[in-house]
Amino acid sequence: MAKVIAVYSMKGGVGKSSLAVNLADGWARSGGRVLLWDVDAQGAASFLLGQVGNQVGKGGARKIFSRAIDPGDVVEETQIAGLDLIAADVSLRHLDASLAEDSPKRLRKLLGPLADDYAYIVLDCPPGLGQVAEQIFRAADILVVPLVPSPLAVRTLEQVREQLAEARGKKAPAVLPVFSMVDKRRALHREMLDAHPDWPAIPQASVVEMMGMHRAPLAAFAAKSVAAKAYGQVLARVTAALGGCA
């Protein structure tokens, strides 16, 4: 039965898709069978994995949620052995509205038939606190939340915890905050890291931006970089939290 990992942030531009891709890649390279489902209309994770066409068909990414398309029928292989993808398209920008009157467990039910085929399912989630977030909160086994090192970002994290508690109560998934885009030359960043020494940290690094040029995870072209090692530490933390070993 697959473990569902949601890489989620209330705010965009915090390295969410890069984190999702590197986590999925890490589990695949460790021998697990992994599915990355890109639920963000921007399709950044799909792009970073080298996805060039739309295997779902026009507007099909949203049709998965209306059950007009079976998610298993649109899974595609990536260039990484053991890592499959359900790609995003721009139709997902209307997903919140589509789900407004739907069951809050629709995503969880859609994941059900896929769960036996994978060890891990990674969701690259859209930012915000709408209907899609509600679906994600009910489907995930753990939320990995990238945030920039700032007091405001930490405040939004508390809002996420409150929404999780409201959605699932005592059954709320674990939450792993991850400082992202860390620049230790900045005093505020150093102060935030000192205040939360148990949170993993991903550095602000040009090699992470180069993922967009290579259209590949760091392990494919910069496996020994500081950033790649930082992603590896997050991978180990999430795996341990899910009851496995990295």
pLDDT at 245 (0 to 100): 53
One-letter-per-residue 3-state SS of 45-92: HHHHCCCCCCCCCCCHHHHCCCCCCCHHHHCEECCCCCEEEECCCHHH
Q: Is 83 within 8 Å of 25 (Cβ atoms)?
A: yes
CATH superfamily of 3-241: P-loop containing nucleotide triphosphate hydrolases (3.40.50.300)
Q: What is the pTM of this model?
A: 0.94
pLDDT at 178 (0 to 100): 98
* Six-digit token string for 194: 């000192």
Per-residue pLDDT of the chain (246 residues), as tens digits, is 899 999 999 999 999 999 999 999 999 999 999 999 999 999 999 999 987 555 555 566 878 887 778 899 889 999 999 999 999 988 888 788 778 777 888 899 999 999 999 999 999 999 988 889 999 999 999 999 999 999 999 999 999 999 899 888 888 899 999 999 999 999 999 999 999 999 999 999 999 999 999 999 999 999 999 999 999 999 999 999 999 754
